Structure formats: structure tokens, C-alpha cells
Structure 1
């Protein structure tokens, strides 16, 4: 292994993904924090013993730390469905995972025909319109959704070309995040993607519906227009509220929902019965009823008391019986390649590394794609090269 090619940027990536400070990592590998800083700033390279300690602690393959990315990714900023108190340290891993998700999706397009989301889709559709409810209505019309309930928003967005993945919790303060991403790999043309990453499993299907619709609102209203991390707290809250208003109209079209509740808006059992129709939480429906003026503020407060009395604050009826949606596009793509003898699991990893000059850990690829990590670990570890790779397109539309 050639130490002169050690890449300090990759060390910083791995450390940030594990949410470790320089001081914390230094203690784990028994070197000074000044040495870790030198490694990351390419002023020094770790010795063999330290290198193996770094590999063990960070759980990245040794090859990850050598070489330079053949791709470049740009973004106008990441949108977080999170509390304002989330720190940069907590947010950095999500930014890296968005990059890795885009790299994997871009790689899979070598073999799979996915639905295409164009960069111009939102700007052309909405022509500068900023009213969240108007934009939500217009998007429903463009997508021919009429005013019907949305059975599974994750599936809907994947079929529209959004890139969605689900990961385990990195931070209790970050629920979901999304971002416009432009990737250019080697001499290939630049491509546009809009990845949405969902965190953890500690929420219900109904809450997930709103979280994804909220991120869709950011795509429709804010992406390519603003860097959310440059906003002050007031403007950030306004942006978040706009995404909430979009999600509310997109999931609960005003006219139809109002017809459902107008005769008994203060009957909490009515909302319970409507939960399986509209597929959103009771709490969200009650907020929506207040926002469209069917419930007064006093009525809204009383409804909140009823929720607390029934112990529905954290877990509502049906929450534990309906599983959250799991993204399928990346998972099914991996399975299609393997089951159709296009690539073996090992070839998927190696071809990805060859084409983008980055060897990601099995655990990261598996989690982003929603497959068992064992699926990517065949018994054979024989290396391959580009000439052995078979290229064949599979139409995602037929999945």
C-alpha cells in the first residue's frame, strides 16, 4: 500500500460520518490530535500501525483512504426536517450520505432505466409561484393525482424519479433530509438528482407520509433557490412552515378534506375513522382542520386535550399495525442485477469502486440500498477488472 497516496480528505469524511471529533479519534487510535489534523490536511501520513487502527475504528476498507474521487458533486444546500438545534457535527454525516446515495444511483443508471427527474421540473411547473397551497394543488394536477388520498408517497416519488433511501438514526435531532445534487463523473455529462434520506424506524407510516411530503415541498418551493444553512432562524422557520403548508395541502386537499369533517369537526372518533382513508396521522388532520378554519383555536386546544386523554400523543391507533414504507428502487435494482446474472454482488462493489474511484464500506452500500449486508459479501473475493463487467439495461418501469 503506497502511503504517499494517502488521502486526508477521505480520513476526514470517515471521521465525520462517525461523528467523531479530531480529539475523540486521536484518543481511539492513540495518537495526538495534532497528528490527526496533519493527516487530514495532508501534512503527514499515518504509519502502518496507526493506519490499521484508523481502519478498525472507522470501519472503512483500507482502499477507501487512498486515491481521489473521480466524481464531483455540487449542491445548493441540504434541507433538514429537524430542530434548529441540530449541530453541524450532527448534520455532516447526512450530507455525506446524500453524496454516497447519488453516487450509487448514478452508478446503477449504467444498468437500470430509472424514471428521470429533470432539474427544470419544479422551476418550469411553478414559474416562481411561492404560495405553498397553490404549488401543491398544481403539482397534484400535473401528476394526475386528482384529489384522492396518496396510498404511499415514498412509492409515488420513486416512480417520479426522486432518489429515496432509509438509514438508521444518526441524530435524534434530524428526522429526514433532502437536497438537490449535481454529479459529474470523469468525462460523463453532469446529471441532476434529488435524493431524500429518511432516518430510523422510530416513527409511524402516517408520520412518514408527512415527512416525505415536507421534503417534496422543499423541492417544489426552495431547491435551487436558497441555501437553507445560510438562513437566520426567522427565515429558516418560515421556510419550514412553507414546506409544512405544502405537505398539508398535498396530502389533505382542502375541499375534499373539509367535506369529510365539516359536519362533526370536534368528534375525535371521526378523525380516527378518516385515518385509514387519508393515511396521515390524527394529529395532522386536527392541525389541518384548524388551519383551514373548520376548528377554532379553542376547539383545537380541546382536541389536543382529547389526544392526551386517550394517550395518542406518541402512538396513535393503527400506528403499530401498519409498517413504514421502505424505498424499493435501489433495492430492486441491486436484486435485478444479481438475479439476472448481470453483476454479482462483489462485481457491484468493485465496479462502483472502479468507475468512481471510491470503495465504500459494505454496510453503507447495503443500508443506502436497503439490502442485507450479507447480500454484498459472497464467498469469492476474486478481483475483477473493467473488461469482465457485463453491461445491460433493465427497465425500472417494469419492476
Structure 2
């Protein structure tokens, strides 16, 4: 056993501190000198153990239960692929990563309790993307493999969770759109920031982040970050709105004029923004580049930089984790206290009717 593996409390303390977005000094300040910065450093290094009073104080300051520090099965994450602005601070980035790790830990724990196997196979692992036409084929292949047909997918999050993808919807700073990462056990994780975003953009981002994990791009594309983003954007459009259905709804492979009401109908049926629809029509050469540019100008002038007419009435919610915890409770596989730990709430909240975040 390595020193790092032996230092369970120190590793968990560092995880909780970063999850809360605290530096050592900020945590010491929050503890009001009950524990000094120097002592916290020694705890994290495994050079000293806290007293019971210090442990309780640290737990309260970091808003975790004391048994959080005893868990030994920390999830290992691979390279985290962030979609963020350059203004996103390192502290917030680390906080988000640790929140993701904590969520996945709890997800895997409840699956283990129920005897479920976390397994994921990438249907596109042997499909190498060499050009933009391959993206259309890859999106169709994924829909076919997952038996989704050509119809709209009304809850992407639920659909992906049932296929082994861990989805975490967060409400965080505007400087991040989402991230994608595999665990060391090859479990895919998609995180999407929902703050100030319409549901159509949330749906688009979910599939964009999934594309980062599933697409096998040739080296010339992979070595160009801007091209990678364009390919993931295109995959999201192709997956959300299959070519055959768009042609059927638009009525032709060539259009010189399209009414806004047509685009609103497609948006409200498939849950994809009008901006993404007209961009897809341009990519498919249904409309010309100049007509596409006129649409971009029109939408921005009439509705602003972010708004547009029409609203998709579907929902994007994560239910799988809550359902598993409720199932374990019903089958008496876990206690009320354990359920509270998994849900990261108090036992009193459970007794008052809390059944999950759905």
C-alpha cells in the first residue's frame, strides 16, 4: 500500500476542500481558528490526524458528513475535456471536477449495493471520422445501435443514463458550458451547466459533450482543437435532428425561402434551436450560404443575440440515481442514514418526505 493510499483522511479532506472551493487558508478562516492552516496542511499530508471536535468542525465547514472522510474507493478520472471560457479560475475548475468525482462515487456505490454492473461500450469505437460526411454516418449509426429510430428523443439525459452514461446537470458560473471525461474504468461522464440556458441549448450541449467521448477522429482533426469543436457541434445537430426527418419536415432538398413558422415547428418537435436548424440546412446545402447569413442577421436583429421564437416543451432530468436509492430503501438494502449520505442530505430531510431531486 502506497503512502497516498494509506492517507485516506488526507486525500478525502483535500477532495472536500476543493469541492467547496476553499484554499487551506480560506478553510482555516471558515473554521474560525478551531483548526489552523498549518494543521490542515498536516492533515492533508497524512502527518497528523484531527481530534473528534476538529473533525466535526471541518465536516460542518465543508458541508459533508464525517463518514465522507472514511471512504476508500475514490474514483479516478482521465483527462477532463472542459468547454470553458479562459476566465474560469483554477479553483472553480477544481471544485467542479471534485463535485463530479463525488457524484460518480455515490452513483457507483448505490449500483454496487444493488448488485448492478457499471458497463459501457462505445458503439462508435471502430468508426474513424475522416471528414464531415462521416459525422452524419456516425450519428445515424449511434441512433441505429441504440434503437432510437428517427423520432425526437424527449429526455436525452434519461436515455443516456439507461445506456450507461453518467450525466450530471449543474448550476454553476457562466464561464463553463460542460465537460466530458472517462473514469479509469471507462465509464463515460457528461456534465452540463444549465445556468441561464434554454432547454434546447442544454440538449445540444449534452450531445456535444458526448461526442467528445464517443468520436474517434483521425489525427489531423484531433490535433486541431477548433476542428474538434466543429465536428462535435455537427455531430450534435446530426444526432438530434436526423437528415431524413429534416428533409421530410422542410419538404425539399432545396429551398429558396423558408418561413419562421416552419423552423419554430421543427424546433418545438425535435428540441433543437432555430439557429442550429438553419446551420444544419446550410451544411446540407438545402439553403445557400448567403440565405443562411440573412437568417443569422434576421434572428439576431429581431430576437437578440441569444433569444429566438418558439419553445421546446420537453424536459431534461436525471432520474436514475434517485430511482436506485429509492429502490434500495424499499428493498431494505440500505438504512435511512445511508440513503441520506448517498443523497447528501440530512436524515431529517428524508423523514420530512425527501425522495430525491427529480
TM-score range, shorter chain: 0.7 to 0.9
Q: Is 1:40 equivalent to 2:44 in the alignment? A: yes
Q: In the aligned structure 1, how far is the partner of 2:327 from the partner of 2:88?
A: 38
Aligned equivalent of 1:240, options 224, 229, 232: 229
| Compared CA separation, residues 56 and 133, structure 1 to 2 (3 A) | same
Number of residues of Structure 1 aligned to a counterpart in Structure 2: 337
1:163 — aligned with what? Answer: 166
| Compared CA separation, residues 114 and 198, structure 1 to 2 (3 A) | farther
Contact 1:102-1:193 at 8 Å conserved across structures: no
Identify unmatched segments of 5+ residues in structure 2.
1-5, 353-358
Aligned equivalent of 1:153, options 144, 153, 156: 156
CA offsets per residue over residues 2-53 of structure 1, 9 Å max, x none?
Answer: xx98822222111111112233223333456455433322344556665554
1:392 — aligned with what? Answer: none
| Compared CA separation, residues 138 and 84, structure 1 to 2 (3 A) | farther
CA offsets per residue over residues 111-166 of structure 1, 9 Å max, x none?
Answer: 54768643454424x2x345433321221222233333322222221222222233
Higher relative contact order (CA 8 A, sep 6+): 1
Q: In the aligned structure 1, how far is the partner of 2:117 from the partner of 2:315?
A: 23
Cα root mean square deviation, aligned: 3.4
Instruction: Note the C-alpha offset of 1:340.
Output: 4.0
| Compared CA separation, residues 267 and 5, structure 1 to 2 (3 A) | closer
Contact 1:162-1:193 at 8 Å conserved across structures: yes
1:333 — aligned with what? Answer: 324
1:143 — aligned with what? Answer: 146
| Compared CA separation, residues 26 and 344, structure 1 to 2 (3 A) | closer
1:81 — aligned with what? Answer: 83
Q: Is 1:193 equivalent to 2:187 in the alignment? A: yes
**TM-score, structure 2 normalization:** 0.79
Aligned equivalent of 2:303, options 295, 307, 311: 311
Q: In the aligned structure 1, how far is the partner of 2:103 from the partner of 2:45?
A: 26
| Compared CA separation, residues 296 and 75, structure 1 to 2 (3 A) | same
Aligned equivalent of 2:207, options 204, 213, 230: 213
Identify unmatched segments of 5+ residues in structure 1.
184-191, 350-361, 380-399
1:62 — aligned with what? Answer: 66
Q: In the aligned structure 1, how far is the partner of 2:302 from the partner of 2:75?
A: 48
Q: In the aligned structure 1, how far is the partner of 2:307 from the partner of 2:238?
A: 24
Once the two structures are superposed, the pairs formed by residues 4-23 of structure 1 within 5 Å of their partners are: 7-23=9-25
